[in-house]
Amino acid sequence: MGVDTGAAPLGSARAEILQRIRAATGGVSNTEVARAGWTRLPREYRRAATREREAVLELLEDRLRDYDANVVRTGRDRVSAIVAKMLSERGKTRMVVPPGIPNEWLPVVVEFVVDEGLSAAELDRFDGVMTGSTMAIAQTGTVILQSVPGQGRRAVTLVPDYQLCVVCEEDVVETVPEAMARLQETAELPTTFFSGPSATADIEMTRIKGVHGPRYLDVVLVGSGI
């Protein structure tokens, strides 16, 4: 992996910077000192949910809508019917999906192509992408994707202009700390948080949907089917 950059001896830069840091902080830090110090850090902020389950789901819906996402709640056995309806309303006929997406979510009336290393240019030619999700955070209206079956590699949910994302109710948490705790085990997987479709406010602070990522986002929240 190492690339010869032709630069000045880099090992010496490392040693010199670490030496400067130690001179500045008054000595060498080690695992014990750092771990003990970290454990003592105050964390008086809110870490657990404070709402009832149904209120958490309603909060997620509300926050997603606030960020211009379209949200539909449905029961487990109705996913493919709802997906068919949403895609038809949007006029989408050819969708890319990651490997491992549950077959029962996919209606037969739409063409679904499984991504097996499609090029970015090929991804760009689809009407949209449909995936599952790892988790959602109600308080911030955020959905989390990881590189796992059913969610796919990062490019798949990025290049197409439209995303339909299925979120299971049991994967919804209320707060950011709850989400980070659940992600700890798989922290090293490529992970993407998205809160609504792509947006910018760079022009006169006017929020514009979609600059480079998907401009349109539909979320299907799957549970008991209220």
Site residues (CB under 8 A) for other proteins, limited to 157-216: 158-159, 176-177, 179-181, 183-184, 187-206, 208, 210-214
Q: What is the DSSP letter of 179?
A: H
Among 21, 48, 55, 114, binds other proteins (CB under 8 A): 21
31 in the Ramachandran plot: left (φ > 0), alpha (ψ -120 to 50) or beta?
alpha
When the beta carbons of 29 and 88 are compared against other proteins, the nearer one is 29
Vertex 100 angle, CA 94 and 104, to 5°: 70
* Whole-angstrom distance, CA of residue 164 vs CA of residue 219: 6
When the beta carbons of 54 and 124 are compared against other proteins, the nearer one is 124
When the beta carbons of 108 and 187 are compared against other proteins, the nearer one is 187
When the beta carbons of 150 and 196 are compared against other proteins, the nearer one is 196
Binding footprint of other proteins, residue count (CB under 8 A): 84
- Minimum separation from the CB atom of position 76 to other proteins (A): 28
Vertex 177 angle, CA 180 and 186, to 5°: 10
Sign of CA dihedral 145, 66, 163, 81: positive
Give the footprint of other proteins on residues 109-148 (CB under 8 A): 120-121, 124, 137, 139-142, 147
| 65 contributes a contact to other proteins by CB under 8 A | no
The whole-angstrom distance between residue 10's C-alpha and the CA centroid of its chain comes to: 36
Among 42-50, 75-83, 88-96, 127-135, the segment contacting other proteins (CB under 8 A)? 42-50
Interaction mask 66-95, other proteins, x per CB under 8 A: -x----------------------------
* Whole-angstrom distance, CA of residue 46 vs CA of residue 68: 27
Do residues 143 and 172 touch, judged by C-beta distance below 8 A?
A: no
